[in-house]
Amino acid sequence: MRRAEANLDIVWAKIDQITQKNVTGFENTMVYALLSGSRTLRRTPEWVEPIKSDSKAESITNRDLWELNKPLSKLFLGEPTQEPKKFKPEVKSKTKVKTKRDPKELATPEEATPPAVEAEPATEATQPTFAVDAKALKVFRTLFFDPEVTSTPGLIPWNDFLYAMAATGFKIEKLYGSVWQFTPTQLDVERGIHFHEPHPMGKIHFETARQHGRRLTRAYGWHGGSASIPTSF
């Protein structure tokens, strides 16, 4: 391996020599951008026969790191000659912490009495709930997982999705191409959200619908019970 790397060094040195001699304006070419990019080169270190002894052999990190990682081509780098750097591991002294207490030492009144734990009042995040008709509810049952619904969700027509979002107070605007802007008007947040109109069939697949539902959950805290209908459905 080391012989192959040495031959490769000769090849790259020749390439550098020819390039510097014959090429003008080389800095503005794609080849220059490719060869001058930041890369890490791993060279094969010299083989050292392992010595059987009680002491640990010298780690590879203690060798000349620059020699092992120097680049093939030196045409672009212009790096100065570096002194070999040795890795010196940091040795931390172990300090034994006293964990046992002398039984003769009496606990102070403050230590004897455990501090009272103040119970924090449980706060439950309030989720918005909308009363919608059966058409919009069918859309939301497909967007969100609801364990009480046993029917298999299907495709959502894009017009039905627009109808359901409008029923919850969203202002709908088509921006460009397939991108639609949905801006809430009945929520505490003013942040809008974008959805893409499906093409070419104009219906939202079940997997995409669930992705839309997760985005609505992250943006507005919606879940499977956010939409309801006054009568049984």
Q: What is the pLDDT of residue 19?
A: 82
- pLDDT tens digits, 49-92: 887 765 554 555 555 555 555 555 665 555 555 554 554 555 56
Does 143 have pLDDT greater than 80? Answer: yes
Q: What is the pLDDT of residue 31?
A: 77
Residue 221 region, left (φ>0) first, then alpha (ψ -120 to 50), else beta? left
Which among 149, 154, 153 is positioned nearest to 203, based on CA atoms?
Answer: 154
- pLDDT tens digits, 166-187: 988 899 999 988 999 999 888 7
- pLDDT tens digits, 31-55: 777 776 666 667 788 888 887 765 5
More confident residue, 123 or 73: 73
Cβ atoms of 198 and 161 closer than 8 Å: no
Does 8 have pLDDT greater than 70? Answer: yes
For residues 12-31, give the mean pLDDT. Answer: 81
Which among 175, 156, 176, 173 is positioned nearest to 164, based on CA atoms?
Answer: 156
Question: Domain map of the chain by residue range?
Answer: 2-69, 130-228
More confident residue, 223 or 61: 223
* Lookup: tokens for 199: 């093409």
Is 0.85 topped by the overall pTM? Answer: no
User: Measured in Å, how far apart are the chain's first and last C-alpha atoms?
Assistant: 74
Q: Is the peptide bond before 200 cis (omega within 30 degrees of 0)?
A: yes
